[in-house]
Amino acid sequence: MPGKFLFSAAVAAIVAAFAFAPLPAHARGDVVTVRETFAPGTIIVKTGERRLYLMIGAGAAIRYPVGVGRAGMQWSGTSHIAAKYVSPAWEPPPDIRRENPKLPLLIPGGSPHNPMGVAAMTLAGTDYAIHGTNQPGLIGHFVSHGCIRMFNEDVTDLFGRVAVGTRVVVQ
């Protein structure tokens, strides 16, 4: 009887370990119907909605929640992805350094203090990027100095779907 009990306890422990183990992170993007007629592959950021849309064609897009610029720090216009970086280092721009002069000149990629998260895509002709975050609780809010912040899982998903040169429209 003790052997049967130990076997049952071992099976129960294994089942419990899998039942309570955290699931792997998954992107939060939802496929949605849209009325816009942008070309497939275009990124649309709707600042007021705090959503980013990757057009996939035929009136459909993948929608992601994002953090956007605070009041007075928002922008709109058209750009394109100039470069893509995995685990980017971050050099605080002058306006952010004025707000917080104690920031280091450079925060290395992978640091828990680096606000760029796991990946970044810089936007041509701007000082902004679409990037991950080290503060996921701020997604869905007006929080940045103009950058578009995404959950790290989402920016990883988007990063794999777009190329340098991808058109970005911020509304």
Closest by CA to 105, choosing from 117, 119, 93, is 93
Which two tokens mark 33? 């119907």
CA dihedral 32, 71, 170, 75 (to 10 degrees): 180
What are the DSSP E strand ranges found in 28-124? 30-33, 43-46, 51-57, 60-65, 68-69, 77-86, 119-123
**One of 80, 141, 145, 147 is an active-site residue; which one?**
147
Q: Distance between CA atoms of 70 and 3, rounded to whole angstroms?
A: 63
**One of 80, 113, 131, 145 is an active-site residue; which one?**
131
Q: Locate tokens 């720090």: which residue? A: 73
Based on the residue annotation, tell me whether 141 is a catalytic residue of this protein: no
Enclosing H/E stretch for 167? strand 167-170
Based on the residue annotation, tell me whether 80 is a catalytic residue of this protein: no
Give catalytic residues, as residue numbers. Answer: 131, 147
